[in-house]
């Protein structure tokens, strides 16, 4: 304080002068020692999690992070993308737009067909919605493409969560941070260690909106589901239901439908059987019969009802998925809806994106708690429920309900399923679990 007083011109004889020096001192201390309280600028290290709270200017636009091509299924790639975004956020860098994989190969990495992010999701919309949280950039934004620092991601049992976090800390300061581009080499981002809460991933997912072409194709499929359902139900013997559909009062109410992510494909059944043996459980695999019985026992479900079966047709070893549903249930899949031509125009990744949108918009969704596809749909539907400020998650008339058919719920129906937005681990979303949050848990924030 004495040094500052001399610098400002002599002794401090007035209250105003003292206040001025105190103000300058606070500013200097704030620069030298950034605060570590949530909501302020600076860095916070707690519980082995490094949180980079950025200023109002947002993420740096002159420092970049590059990541490997994203692989596996659509939703594993979405998680990998979110993890890459959060890693870039931790390093206070802009993530260079990554490539997705349009084809589905698990081991033949060299055969993967790359597809850029902006061919699936809206680039500018992402940056607008995620402004100040994470940011995407183009490779053309990079000035110096020759001096790139490579950061090797570790693997194996010796590469622990703590070692991974220590590496990220190291590369966020000093000479490492001087590089314009840090390029991560090695493992697929989906397999990186996880340092973030579910709500951080959810924040990134909220910024992902499919391009107009995909959204319009999903619109066509959903319209076809409701149209065909209306035609079939209109021929039933229920005059009361026919009147409710054709009356002026209900003309603006679209016909409801249930979407079922029916995981009975060959590759899934092999995977889930091995997973059940490893985890010593019988709550992962579900037969067609079990899925049908659980769906039919949903409490409060009104029939007749259209049931859209989301399934990977090419990987099925049976064509009988629409048989045995019984009265009141009207099952449809792509071929029966005559929309398979829409899907055939696109590679695997886009087909999955269309089906994801169709399931997301359903009045009721039923999936498998060990499926990443199902898990991310439930996460988004949970977010929709939160945004509508519902007072009860357990009501039979609540909007956007979701269920897990591999777990028994009320009246031998599927278990009610809500994402635990307070969870500190992405385990339930990334790798599946039979310990899901039900509506009675009310864990929403």
Q: Between 363 and 385, name the one with better pLDDT.
A: 363
Q: How confident is the model at residue 266, as a pLDDT?
A: 77
Q: Are 50 and 168 in contact (CB under 8 A)?
A: yes
Degrees (nearest 5) of the Cα angle 206, 209, 214?
150
Q: Which residue has the higher pLDDT, 314 or 337?
A: 337
In whole angstroms, what is the distance from residue 313 CA to residue 337 CA?
13
| Residue 253, Cβ density class (10 Å: 0-12 exposed, 13-18 middle, ≥19 buried) | exposed
Per-residue burial over 101-113, b = 16 or more CB atoms within 10 Å of its CB, e = otherwise: bbebeeeeeeebe
Instruction: Show the tokens assigned to 430.
Output: 């990334």
Return the pLDDT at 312. Answer: 75
> Is the domain of 188 the same as that of 224?
no
Q: Is the pLDDT of residue 28 over 60?
A: no
Q: Are residues 356 and 263 in the same domain?
A: yes
Task: Examine residue 200 and state whether it is found in any structural domain, yes or no.
Answer: no
Judgement on whether residues 247 and 295 belong to the same structural domain of the protein: yes
- Please state the rounded mean pLDDT for residues 94-103: 95
240 and 319 inside one domain:
yes
Whether 417 and 436 have beta carbons less than 8 Å apart is answered as: yes
> Is residue 431 very low, low, confident or very high in pLDDT (cuts 50, 70, 90)?
confident
Q: What percent of the chain has pLDDT over 90?
A: 54
DSSP letter (8 states) at residue 104: -
- Identify which of 128, 132, 119 has the alpha carbon closest to the alpha carbon of residue 70: 119
Q: 151 has which bridge partners?
A: 184
Which neighbouring-strand residues pair with 53?
Answer: 42
Residue pointed to by tokens 């790359």: 114
Which of 195, 223, 248 represents a domain boundary (last residue)?
A: 195
Is 22 within a domain?
Answer: yes
Domain identity same for 278 and 132:
no
Kindly report, residue by residue over 225-262, the tens digit of the pLDDT: 999 888 877 665 445 555 555 544 444 456 889 999 99
Q: Please tell me whether residues 225 and 301 are part of one structural domain.
A: yes
pLDDT above 70 covers a percentage of the chain that reads 76
Q: 399 lies in which domain range?
A: 212-441
The pLDDT score that the predictor gives to residue 422 is 87
Task: Please name the helix (run of DSSP H) or strand (run of DSSP E) that holds residue 53, with its range, or none.
Answer: strand 49-53
How confident is the model over 157-213, as pLDDT tens digits?
Answer: 899 999 999 999 999 999 999 999 999 998 889 889 999 999 999 999 999 999 999
- Shared domain for 167 and 278, answered yes or no, is no
Give the total number of structural domains in the chain.
3
Structure tokens at 140: 């053309």
Gap between the Cα atoms of 87 and 99, Å rounded:
16
Position 286 in a domain = yes
201 domain residue, yes or no: no
207 within a domain of the structure (yes/no) = no
SS3 46: strand
Look at residue 176 in the predicted model and tell me its pLDDT: 95
Q: How confident is the model at residue 20 (pLDDT cuts 50, 70, 90)?
A: low
Taking the CB of residue 235, how many other CB atoms lie within 10 A of it? 8
Q: Give the CATH number for residue 182.
A: 3.40.50
Considering the domain boundaries, does residue 38 fall inside one?
A: no
Within this chain, do residues 243 and 272 fall inside the same structural domain, yes or no? yes
Residue 206 lies in a domain: no
Does residue 421 share a domain with residue 325? yes
Residue 73 lies in a domain: yes
pLDDT of residue 15: 52
Contact predicate 253/404, CB 8 Å:
no
**pLDDT of 444:** 44
- Clarify whether residues 50 and 16 are in a common domain: no
117 CB-contact burial (10 Å; exposed 0-12 / middle 13-18 / buried 19+) = buried
Looking at the fold, whether 172 and 254 belong to one and the same domain comes out as no
Residue 27 has a pLDDT of 54
Q: Are 216 and 353 in the same domain?
A: yes
Average pLDDT of span 382-396: 75
Q: Are 168 and 182 in contact (CB under 8 A)?
A: no
CA Rg, the chain, in Å? 26
From residue 433, give the alpha-carbon distance in Å to each of 98, 372, 406.
29, 10, 10
Q: What is the mean pLDDT of the chain?
A: 82
Question: Which of 195, 227, 255 is the last residue before a domain boundary?
Answer: 195
Q: Of 136, 161, 195, at which residue does a domain stop?
A: 195
**209 alpha-carbon distance from chain centroid:** 11
């Amino acid at each position: 304080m004495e040094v500052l007083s001399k610098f400002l011109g002599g002794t401090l004889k007035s209250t105003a002068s003292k206040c001025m020096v105190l103000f300058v001192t606070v500013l200097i201390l704030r620069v030298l020692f950034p605060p570590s309280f949530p909501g302020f600028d600076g860095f916070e290290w707690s519980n082995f999690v490094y949180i980079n709270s950025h200023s109002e200017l947002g993420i740096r636009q002159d420092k970049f992070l590059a990541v490997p091509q994203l692989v596996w299924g659509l939703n594993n790639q979405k998680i990998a993308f979110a993890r890459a975004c959060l890693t870039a956020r931790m390093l206070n860098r802009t993530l260079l737009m990554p490539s997705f994989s349009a084809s589905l190969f698990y081991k033949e990495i060299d055969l993967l067909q790359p597809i850029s992010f902006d061919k699936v999701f809206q680039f500018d919309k992402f940056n607008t919605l995620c402004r100040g949280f994470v940011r995407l950039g183009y490779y053309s934004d990079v000035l110096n493409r020759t001096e790139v620092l490579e950061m090797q991601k570790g693997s194996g049992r010796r590469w622990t969560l703590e070692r991974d976090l220590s590496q990220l800390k190291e590369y966020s300061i000093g000479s490492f941070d001087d590089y314009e581009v840090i390029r991560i080499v090695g493992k697929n981002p989906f397999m990186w260690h996880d340092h973030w809460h579910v709500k951080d991933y959810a924040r990134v997912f909220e910024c992902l909106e499919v391009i107009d072409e995909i959204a319009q194709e999903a619109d066509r499929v959903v319209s076809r589901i409701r149209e065909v359902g209306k035609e079939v139900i209109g021929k039933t013997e229920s005059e009361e239901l026919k009147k409710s559909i054709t009356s002026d009062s209900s003309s603006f109410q679209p016909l409801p439908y249930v979407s079922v992510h029916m995981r009975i494909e060959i590759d899934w059944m092999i995977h889930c059987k091995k997973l059940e043996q490893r985890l010593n459980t019988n709550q992962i695999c579900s037969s067609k019969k079990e899925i049908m019985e659980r769906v039919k026992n949903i409490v409060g479900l009104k029939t007749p009802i259209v049931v859209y079966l989301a399934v990977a047709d090419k990987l099925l070893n049976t064509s009988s998925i629409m048989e045995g549903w019984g009265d009141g249930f009207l099952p449809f899949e792509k071929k029966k809806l005559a929309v398979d031509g829409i899907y055939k125009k696109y590679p695997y990744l886009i087909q999955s994106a269309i089906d994801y949108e169709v399931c997301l918009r359903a009045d009721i969704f039923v999936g498998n708690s060990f499926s990443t596809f199902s898990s991310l749909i439930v996460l988004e539907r949970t977010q929709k429920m939160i945004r509508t400020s519902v007072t009860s998650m357990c009501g039979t008339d609540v909007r956007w309900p979701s269920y897990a058919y591999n777990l028994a719920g009320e009246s031998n129906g599927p278990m009610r399923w809500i994402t635990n937005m307070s969870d500190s681990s992405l385990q339930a979303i990334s790798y599946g679990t039979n310990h899901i949050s039900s509506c009675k848990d009310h864990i929403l924030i």
